């Protein structure tokens, strides 16, 4: 199920609007080297802007960075009123949408509700004062839930990028990798590390779409 919404009619909630404003104020903190990496995604989105574009954010376990990439890129497309953007996520393995990532995204303003109780729960995610929702759960990138062809594979971790030199069905593969907040699990820095990663991914995805 892809994300569908009329961006001209549905408003974001105030918490996430404020979070977005803070991240936009951080655009100057993105290095020129990083901007060059991000420009590859901007250029792809800019081309044939009247056509649907499917973006699949891929990391090893589809538990942290790939979900953040999916959700923040969908927010950024909405914020900059760029239509025909459908965002997904997947992994080279299936695990679970990590609860620490869920907490960080809730703090940022997402409304996230767990709808199943199992080892790989399904969450319904919204960032709007409306009913449009994104279904989030861990899955392999080629799961039937995701597009099987004509999509951009955005590799959010170096391990997944190395493990998948070719992503079957992808029309383009782009490496936009992030440090794994998992390194702080179980430490006093855990919460701050997940918040840091959410902020970085939000800032960079907003920057990408601001340049379209």
Q: Residue 170 has what pLDDT?
A: 95
Report helix angle 14-24 to 99-108, nearest 10.
90
Residue 130 has pLDDT above 70, yes or no: no
Mean pLDDT for 90-98 is 96
Q: In this structure, are residues 115 and 121 in contact, taking their beta carbons and an 8 Å threshold?
A: yes
> 3-class SS at 79?
helix
DSSP 3-state of 208: helix
pLDDT class for 180, splitting at 50, 70, 90?
A: very high
Burial profile 26-48: b = 16 or more Cβ within 10 angstroms, e = fewer:
eeeeeeeeeeeebebbbebbeee
**Chain centroid to CA 90:** 10
Please tell me the pTM assigned to this model: 0.93
pLDDT in tens, 24-48: 999 999 999 999 999 999 999 998 6
* For residue 7, pLDDT beyond 70: no
pLDDT higher than 50, residue 9: no
DSSP codes, 179-199: --GGGGTTSTTHHHHHHHHHH
Residue 6 pLDDT:
40
Residue of higher predicted confidence among 129 and 98 = 98
């Amino acid at each position: 199920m892809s994300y569908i919404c009329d961006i001209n009619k549905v408003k974001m909630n105030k918490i996430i609007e404020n979070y977005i404003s803070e991240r936009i104020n951080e655009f100057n903190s993105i290095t020129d080297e990083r901007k060059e990496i991000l420009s590859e995604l901007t250029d792809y989105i800019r081309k044939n802007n009247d056509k649907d574009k499917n973006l699949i954010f891929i990391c090893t376990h589809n538990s942290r960075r790939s979900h953040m990439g999916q959700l923040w890129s969908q927010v950024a497309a909405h914020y900059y009123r760029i239509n025909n953007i459908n965002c997904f996520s997947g992994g080279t393995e299936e695990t679970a949408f990590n609860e620490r990532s869920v907490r960080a995204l809730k703090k940022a303003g997402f409304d996230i509700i767990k709808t199943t109780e199992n080892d790989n729960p399904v969450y319904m995610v919204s960032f709007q004062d409306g009913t449009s929702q994104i279904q989030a759960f861990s899955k392999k990138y080629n799961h039937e839930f995701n597009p099987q062809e004509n999509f951009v594979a955005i590799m959010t971790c170096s391990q997944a990028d190395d493990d998948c030199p070719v992503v079957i069905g992808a029309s383009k593969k782009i490496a936009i990798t992030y440090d794994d907040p998992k390194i702080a699990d179980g430490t006093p820095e855990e919460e701050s590390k997940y918040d840091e990663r959410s902020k970085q991914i939000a800032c960079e995805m907003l920057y990408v779409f601001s340049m379209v």
